[in-house]
Amino acid sequence: MATTTSLEMPQEEKVWGGGNEPMKASYGKLMMWFFLISDALTFSGFLTAYGLMRFKYEPSWPVAERVFTHFPGIEGDQPLLYVALMTFILIVSSVTMVLAVHEGRHNKKTRVGLWMIATIVGGAIFLGSQAWEWYHFIVGDSGAVEVVFSDEMGRQTMRPADAEGNFISLGDLVHGDAAGGHGHHEHFSIEQVRDAFAGGEYQLRQPGKAGMTLDHEASLAMLNSDNAMVIHGANMTRNEYGHQQFANFFFFITGFHGFHVFSGVILNFIIFYNVMLGTYQRRGHYEMVEKVGLYWHFVDLVWVFVFTFFYLV
């Protein structure tokens, strides 16, 4: 009888009248998608705000490849290599996740578990890499000085440069170029920097692409004022690489993304545990793996954009 009534109904009510899945996706999967849409909008808001501040403070905005230059085990400047490795790790863990989903469609419990463990390990390696990058960002590299630039521009991060305008580190400034190759963990006082600066044709330059360069006398006058200070590394109030907003956005956006990765690893582990208990085998389908997989791929998707807008552009 139910069949006869539904046959008489207009087409729309048959599809959207309830009791079936008009989009051929379960409630849980739809809700995961809707959450991911809202999360995508959140991240696009953050990245847009980043871009807005970057436009506003262009002269003092750090050039990312001068900021993230370390690679474990290799000396010297290696721009982009480390973050490329992080991207690679996340893409690989995305592939292992999708292979777990694939095996889930064939109800192969052990294989789902193995691919999920590979995904969890990939996520953990990514988190470790991020911690390593944060460490180097916070400790700092070449050091800089903060001076009161003018009434309108307030305090500005400035980096010493040689007579040709090439940036030099505080270590090279104080010890002289010839000494070279000393650890970047050495800290200097403002007096050391003043003395070394006065002893050569050095200038102060803004760290951005189109940053201003001050001549030697103007630089020295700023350095000699009472409120000049040396900064090493970056935190929420000081940033040796350039404008303070850069450090704040770096901590916030990569931190927010890293927190997503962290949650993803926890969720993956819970689902992995259930897989091994045989929960989904008994249920007859592995849709939970698919849902957590959607979240995991989204984390990879966001990283692709963070990679572009933070490190490349």
Partner 1 sequence: MSDNHAHGGVRRLIIVFFILLVVTAVEVGLGIVKPAFLMGEVFGFTSWLNIIFIVLTLFKAYFIVEAFMHLEGEKKSLRLTIYLPILILIPYLTFILLTEGSYLYGA
Sites of contact with partner 1 (CB under 8 A) = 22-25, 30, 33, 37, 40-41, 44-45, 48, 51-52, 55-56, 58, 65, 79-81, 84, 87-88, 91-92, 94-95, 97-99, 101-102, 105-106, 293-294, 297-298, 300-301, 304-305, 307-308, 311-313
In the chain, the N- to C-terminal Cα span, in Å, equals 64
Closer of 84 and 267 to partner 1 (Cβ): 84
Closer of 40 and 229 to partner 1 (Cβ): 40
At 71, list the tokens: 């690679």
Residues 173, 223 contacting (CB under 8 angstroms):
no
Distance (Å, rounded) from C-alpha 18 to C-alpha 20?
Answer: 6
Q: How far is the CB of 235 from partner 1 (least distance, A)?
A: 25
Q: How far is the CB of 279 from partner 1 (least distance, A)?
A: 22
Distance (Å, rounded) from C-alpha 208 to C-alpha 157?
Answer: 10
Q: How far is the CB of 208 from partner 1 (least distance, A)?
A: 12
Closer of 93 and 219 to partner 1 (Cβ): 93
Closer of 34 and 273 to partner 1 (Cβ): 34
Sequence-separated contacts (24+) of 195-202 with Cβ below 8 Å: 197/160, 197/173, 197/223, 200/162, 200/163, 201/162, 201/163, 202/160, 202/161, 202/162, 202/163, 202/168, 202/173
Closer of 24 and 282 to partner 1 (Cβ): 24
Q: How far is the CB of 139 from partner 1 (least distance, A)?
A: 24
Taking the CB of residue 10, how many other CB atoms lie within 10 A of it?
A: 8
Taking the CB of residue 235, how many other CB atoms lie within 10 A of it?
A: 15
Q: How far is the CB of 188 from partner 1 (least distance, A)?
A: 31
